[in-house]
Amino acid sequence: MREDVTRVDAGRDARYVYSQVFASSGSEHGILDLRTVTRSGRLATLELKASEHIHLPLQAADYWLRVRKHMDRGEIARFGYFPGVELQAIPPLVYLVAPALRFHPSTDDLLKYLSPELEVVRVGLAESWRRGPRVVMRQ
């Protein structure tokens, strides 16, 4: 996915893809799979899974909160991410990326209970994703 994030969404700016980005919130620390930005300057996090993961929506919400806090503090640009890009002051997008048949059955139900500010896009890949990711579903 890092090699061409435009496969997930053509609106991504392929020049800026950061993998395994450190994010903190107080004493808690986490690693985001991929952080990217749209061509219009909106931040986005791509959370990648190869198999069912019941906590995926909650993990995505946690990362969203961390990124939002870094945005609010102006730390994204200060830490050197996305040089030359004027970042939009709107909440980041979150992409949940997994093989289409590997989203846990509770994913949709859990997403309903999260803040409407958290914009989540589910991206399902073909089962042959190891030979090259091909999007077969986007919700």
pLDDT tens-digit series, residues 98-119: 889 989 999 999 999 999 999 9
Phi, psi of 103 (to 5 degrees): -80, 135
| DSSP state, residue 130 | G
Average pLDDT of the residues in 65-82: 92
Range of the structural domain that residue 55 is part of: 5-138
| Count of the separate structural domains present in the chain | 1
Predicted TM-score (pTM) of the model is 0.85
Average pLDDT score over the chain: 86
Phi, psi of 26 (to 5 degrees): 65, -125
Listed in order, strand segments (DSSP E) in 4-134 are: 12-25, 28-38, 43-48, 93-99, 119-125
Average pLDDT of the residues in 51-78: 90
pLDDT recorded at residue 31: 41
Q: Closest Cα partner for 67 from 97, 36, 98?
A: 36
pLDDT band at residue 21, thresholds of 50, 70 and 90?
Answer: low
pLDDT band at residue 18, thresholds of 50, 70 and 90?
Answer: confident
CATH code for the domain in which residue 15 is found: 3.40.1350.10
pLDDT recorded at residue 20: 66
Residue 86 has pLDDT above 70, yes or no: yes
